[in-house]
């Protein structure tokens, strides 16, 4: 995508890193392959499982994603 720049405040970048979670690996693969096929991404990776650690309503928690 020549000429496309991402803007962060006053700083322009010529690349962008996007992360997301999906309910299953199949959904992740569909997003990843579609982004490459549409030339929105030069490369994609599907990683996981992801473990999230968090603090919510006064208690610590952990869940796989």
- Give residue-wise pLDDT tens across range 13-44: 678 888 888 888 999 999 999 999 999 999 99
What's the pLDDT at 60? Answer: 95
Tokens 């890193």 locate to 17
CA distance 62 to 21: 15
CA distance 63 to 54: 9
What's the pLDDT at 1? Answer: 44
pLDDT above 90 as % of the chain: 46
């Amino acid at each position: 995508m020549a000429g496309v720049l991402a803007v962060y405040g006053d700083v322009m970048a010529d690349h962008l890193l996007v992360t997301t979670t999906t309910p299953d690996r199949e959904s992740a693969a569909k997003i990843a392959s579609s982004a490459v096929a549409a030339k929105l991404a030069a490369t994609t990776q599907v990683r996981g499982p992801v473990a999230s650690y968090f603090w919510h309503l006064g208690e610590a928690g952990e869940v796989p994603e």
